[in-house]
Chain A
Amino acid sequence: MSSVNTGLSSKKSSTNEKLRKFLTYMRRNYLLYLFLVLPVAYFFIFKYVPMYGVTIAFKDYNMFLGIWKSPWNNFATFKEIFSMKEFFRAVKNTFFLNTLDLVAGFPAPIILAIILSELRNQTYKRISQTILYLPHFLSWIVIGSLTIQLFSAQSGLVNTLIEKLGFEPIPFLTEKTPWIITYTLSGVWQSAGWNAIIYLAAIAGINPELYEAATVDGAGRLRRIWHITLPCIKTTIIILLILNVGRIAQIGFDRPYAMGNYLVTDVSDVISTFVYRVGLRSGRFSTATAVGFFQSVVGMVFLITANYIAEKLGEQGIW
């Protein structure tokens, strides 16, 4: 009996204890929660409300009824987009252009970093790096403008030179295959220097004794690159590769929009530009949202898988 009573009273007092502890905790820390109010409100309004807005992909969205009251349409929107040729074209182009970006754009910074790290003249190295990073700071609209100026068939510098050499001008921007090449190279141009930074850091972290030992053993510089530099940055390379593959279903808007034009829509129209055209130009909000939702889900699966693998390999993922 008495033991039960004791138990009850101790429970009661422990509840009070908890409450008191909680109040003490809040008195000490309320400011921290106050700090969080605005940022949390931001995330709620600008990130989570649009996530709720995704429901219009499953509805016949009517602007006057709003998202909540628009009627459900039993996946009709998805049936619609899966019967659209343009949708599949956009999906295909997204994957295709991203794959090319990966194939051309992934090795470039590695090679660049190895070459830069082999330079003996430090001033030359520093100046080169400064210039090589520069394209990263230009907007895609500026890069798109530069591309038009350089590669246009009538007046571009490149075609001027090609014609001077006695060849036919190449329609870099207006025909499919040349356009794809131009698009891919623009990505390499913009990011190779910048992406080399991470590899340069990895190379800088290699123990110099390894190189000395190899030199004593008579290894030339190519051999040292092959047998020391590359194996030492292998982990970095693999992790970045996986993370890049994880982003293969995602594509920004600025670059394809700035680089594309109506003559090459067949190869340049990707999901983001497709969503823009269908949604905001033609006003088919539900359709465009469904396309965006499809991409988000596929992109998320890739991203989560990639991060999971990268973490398994002994590194943290993207955060």
Chain B
Amino acid sequence: MDSGIKSRIFDMILNVIVFFSVLVCLIPMLYVASVSLSSNSAILSRRVYIWPVELTFDSYRVVFADKTMIRSLLFTVVLTLVFTAMSMMMTILMAYPLSKKGLKGRNFFLLMVVITMYFSGGMIPDYILIKNLGLLNKVGALIFPGLISAFNMIVLKTFFSNLPESLEESALIDGANYLTILVRIVLPLSLPVLATLSLFYAVGRWNYFMDSLLYITDSKLYPIQLKLYQIVYNNMQPEISAIEGSIASNLLPESLKAASVMFCTIPILLVYPWLQKHFVQGIMIGSIKG
């Protein structure tokens, strides 16, 4: 009886801690959402907490009226899709041969990949390469350098090599070539892991910022993160944003910045429940030793 009460108190404490942690995760988002939906006077008099005060959609109207913003978003969507498709193709092309234990030279190729996990040229040699390839201010600069993630490739290679060999052997005996086997047998069996790795690539591309800062100065090719960076950080002082003129004079930059943050985050939130499921599977696949 006594231990039952103790256990119940224990449960309650745990529930409270978890509830508190969940709040900590949510409040920043709720606050920014509220700011983006509140009136200027409410923000100025600091009456906004985690719900909108004097609800208004003005800042969203400004954001959506800003063509550069919409273009940035569309560009990033297309960029992410193209990047993910190309990355997956390259990753599969590499992982499949390397999953064959009998492949001559396999260890050499694997070593070549693994070395890059430990050592890299670094920011400046990368930059010089991109410059020499003539990729500065080209979409290619945002696609090619990150095409294959060594980690993802090794995860996929491990997955392929765990598939039952008998399936492929009988197909080989029937005269099928490796391309047919890959497309008809191996890939259909690997759909969950392919989905997970695609999401790794896609979320990584969507969120990555550094390469656009380094390689892109043409505002037509600004990915959404760089765009957001310029809105939020370069307009730290209200005076500056007033000069820039892209912001309606009666709007407080705070609400506009908040709306921009929401604008960049909502696409992630929309696909999030789906993302989360596949990612949790992915982290498990990744932790199985290769």
Residues of chain A touching chain B, judged by Cβ–Cβ distance below 8 Å, are 25, 29, 31-33, 35-36, 38-40, 42-43, 45-54, 56, 67, 112, 115-116, 118-121, 124-125, 128, 130-135, 137-142, 144-150, 155, 157, 160, 189, 192-193, 197-198, 201, 220-222, 253-254, 257-258, 261, 272, 275-276, 279-280, 285, 288-289, 292-293, 295-296, 300, 303-304, 315-316, 318-319
B122 and A35 contact, CB distance less than 8 A: no
Binds A, one of B110-118, B187-195, B240-248: B110-118
Assess the A157–B49 pair: CB atoms within 8 A: yes
Contact of A115 with B17 at beta-carbon distance under 8 Å, contacts A51-B120, A51-B125, A285-B124 already known: yes
* Interface pair A149/B254, CB less than 8 Å apart: yes
Is the pair A36, B94 in contact by a Cβ cutoff of 8 Å? yes
Q: Which of B21, B228, B236 contacts A128 (CB 8 A)?
A: B21
Question: Counting CB contacts under 8 A, is B272 at the interface?
Answer: yes
**Which chain A residues border B203 with CB–CB below 8 Å?**
137
7 pairs, CB–CB < 8 Å, chain A vs chain B: A29-B103, A38-B90, A115-B17, A145-B32, A149-B254, A157-B48, A319-B151
Contacts of B1 in A (CB 8 A): none
Known: A130-B276, A142-B264. 4 other contacts (CB 8 A): A132-B22, A137-B275, A197-B283, A220-B3
CB of B123 within 8 A of CB of A319, answer no
**A211 to chain B: closest CB distance in Å?**
13
Q: Does B209 contact A (CB under 8 A)?
A: yes
Could you tell me the distance between the alpha carbons of A204 and B82 in the complex, rounded to whole angstroms?
38
Q: Which of B123, B154, B228, B261 contacts A292 (CB 8 A)?
A: B123
Q: Which of B90, B229, B273 contacts A39 (CB 8 A)?
A: B90
Query: Which chain B residues lie closer than 8 Å to A144 at the CB level?
Result: 232-233
Give bound CA distance, A27 to B90, whole Å: 23
Of chain A, the residue at the smallest CB distance from B203 is A137
Contacting pair B123 A316 (CB below 8 A): no
Chain B interface size, under 10 / 10 to 19 / 20 to 34 / 35 or more: 35 or more
Q: B62 interface residue, CB < 8 Å from A?
A: no
The yes or no answer to B60 lying at the interface (CB within 8 A) is no
State whether B177 touches A31 (Cβ < 8 A): yes
Is the Cβ of A315 less than 8 Å from the Cβ of B22? no
Contact present for A257 and B210 (CB under 8 Å): yes
Chain B CB count within 10 A is highest, among A112, A119, A121, A155, for A155
Q: Is the beta-carbon distance between B289 and A303 smaller than 8 angstroms? A: no
* Of the residues B19, B28, B268, contact of A137 by C-beta under 8 Å: B268
Chain B CB within 10 Å, residue with most, of A47, A48, A292: A47
Given A141-B209, A258-B229, do A46 and B257 touch, yes or no (CB 8 Å)? no
Q: Are B118 and A304 in contact (CB under 8 A)?
A: yes
Q: Do A138 and B207 touch across chains, with their CB atoms under 8 A apart? A: yes
Given A51-B125, A119-B15, A128-B18, the answer on whether A43 and B116 have CB atoms closer than 8 Å is yes
> Are A279 and B26 within 8 A (Cβ)?
no
Point out residues on B near A: beta carbons under 8 Å.
3, 6-7, 10-11, 14-15, 17-19, 21-22, 24-29, 31-32, 35, 43, 46, 48-49, 90-91, 93-94, 96-98, 100, 103-104, 109, 112-114, 116-129, 144-145, 147-148, 150-151, 153-154, 177-179, 203, 206-210, 213-214, 225, 228-229, 232-233, 236, 254, 257-258, 260-261, 264-265, 268, 272-273, 275-276, 279-280, 283-284, 287, 289-290
Contact assessment for A221 and B7 in the assembled complex, using a CB-CB cutoff below 8 Å: yes
Separation of A132 and B25 alpha carbons in the complex (Å): 6
Give chain A residues whose Cβ lies under 8 Å from the Cβ of B208.
139, 254
The chain A residue sitting closest to B226, CB to CB, is A141
Q: Are B18 and A31 interface neighbours, CB within 8 A? A: no
A45: which B residues are within 8 A, CB to CB? Answer: 129
The interface residues of chain B lying within 8 Å CB-to-CB of A220 are 3, 6-7
Question: Is the beta-carbon distance between B90 and A139 smaller than 8 angstroms?
Answer: no
Is B123 touching A288 in the complex (CB atoms < 8 A)?
yes
What B residues does A35 contact at CB under 8 A? 93-94, 96-97, 178
Query: Which of B28, B123, B179 is A276 in contact with, Cβ under 8 Å?
Result: B123
Beyond A56-B125, A279-B124, whether A157 also contacts B31 by CB under 8 A is: yes
Chain B nearest CB: distance from A35 CB in Å?
4
- Tell me whether B97 and A32 are in contact (CB under 8 A): yes
Complex contact A300–B276 (CB within 8 A):
no
- Note all chain A residues with C-beta closer than 8 A to B213: 257
Known A-B contacts A54-B125, A115-B18, A292-B124; the reply to A139 vs B119 at CB < 8 A is no
**Contact between B147 and A115 (Cβ–Cβ < 8 Å)?**
no
In contact, B10 and A221 (Cβ under 8 angstroms): yes
B112 touches A50 (CB 8 A): no
Q: Which residues of B contact A140 (CB under 8 A)?
A: 207, 209
Q: Report the minimal beta-carbon distance from A227 to chain B, rounded to whole angstroms.
A: 16
CB distance from A283 to the nearest CB of B (A): 10
CA distance A257 to B27 in the complex (A): 23
- Taking a contact as CB atoms closer than 8 A, the residue among A25, A142, A275 that contacts B265 in the complex is A142
Q: State whether B112 touches A197 (Cβ < 8 A).
A: no
Known: A31-B177, A315-B289. A47 touches B124 (CB 8 A): no
Q: Nearest Cβ in chain A — how far from B68, in angstroms?
A: 17
| Interface-central residue, B21, B116, B148, by most chain A CB under 10 Å | B21
